[in-house]
Structure 1
């Protein structure tokens, strides 16, 4: 006996005891109901005068045949194929309850597994079908609504928070810690090898360039022009007039700097003087 049948039988007992002359409190004590419930049902019985009609109205109010305003979370991809599989599951579950056996249980489990596979396939097809409709005219609010429906979240839309959540989920799922152990070990070996190659390249001297020659320095100085003076107040013209001694010393400093991979501190210092535009304060 289901709930509706129990409800109808209980209401019939209330009317029968009332017709037998019992009070509201006595009926509630006999049936284990509150006096308020008993009085409510007796009032409906007196108003309708028809037991069957009163029972139907009470049952419809307490157990609606169809819920309004609510949807199943999987309604967006639910179809006839899934409905048919669910019907088969219900049928086999009833058969298993009537005649339980290992064979019927394994058959029911296999049917449930097959239904889940079909649901996953249909869900993926519906999702790809919706994604294919996205273009430059798609509304952002509608996109977020469909995403929330597909993920089972019907909360209020909050695009920044949802975007952050999706980004975090993607970062977690794409992390290397989720990879198999052998792949993680291989990646670590590659990182170590790459670091060794980088260190070797940095420490290795450039054999192709080699030390600067006197001719290279001379040709370069010949192309240079006088620029703004530094702290020492020496220009390129002064270097050219000092002779070969300064030229040799400069070449030695440049080759030593190239060998150790560092520039002299005096060479990396500069005086910067901002020049404001006309009628503009500094």
Structure 2
């Protein structure tokens, strides 16, 4: 009788053990408000007189197309900006060429992430250590908020009344975040908690990657439904232009991409060089936008 009872208890424990992970996985999925990396846009603010040159040079470099350009009020207080999207296989850009002074805190956010539920996403962000720089507000096609994570990393979360339908990306760009060791642990804990990100942590990456030959730095690669992120943890003693770029774009062939970029008026700031498992370069587009571009090192 005791043996039978023990078997019944063991069976019940095994059954419960198999149920708990599934429930936990469903709960995690339910609290992830990401839509997909093709809906994550780098926010680029350029002088309005250079706006068209920037937008055209971006699609000339990476391919894709521009959405229709318009003039909108995208802030909750009075303002007006030229605005459109550059939809490319390597990532999406939201371009802004303000015709009026830019109200705070706009212009400080690095990118925008589309979410499925703006209120729930904001609540989750705050729970995981973010603060709102502005409360949620309506825009012409949805609702927006600007939040700041530990370490001063600011970004916009947005929601559309009618969900857009963008083609999946050929390559996923990386949100490049530069922090010192003072700020990195708090930021990483917050972002991982919010985005349920998978992490690849290299504490002895070659400093030549960020213009510091002879040094090492900590490189943390994070992957989530919001796309890729590269957290660069260093002493902060970075040569120009490192740290000014906020996005890195992956392309199949770096040299071919740079040829197209040069023809479109893009300046190469750091010549192509091998950086870890990639060949990388730094460029500046008309209007001043600085970006990293990379492709895999061929074996």
Could you tell me the TM-score, scaled by structure 2's length?
0.19
Whichever structure has more strand as a proportion of its residues is 2
The higher relative CO (CA closer than 8 Å, separation ≥ 6) is in 2
Larger Rg: 1
Whichever structure has more helix as a proportion of its residues is 1
Could you tell me the TM-score, scaled by structure 1's length?
0.20
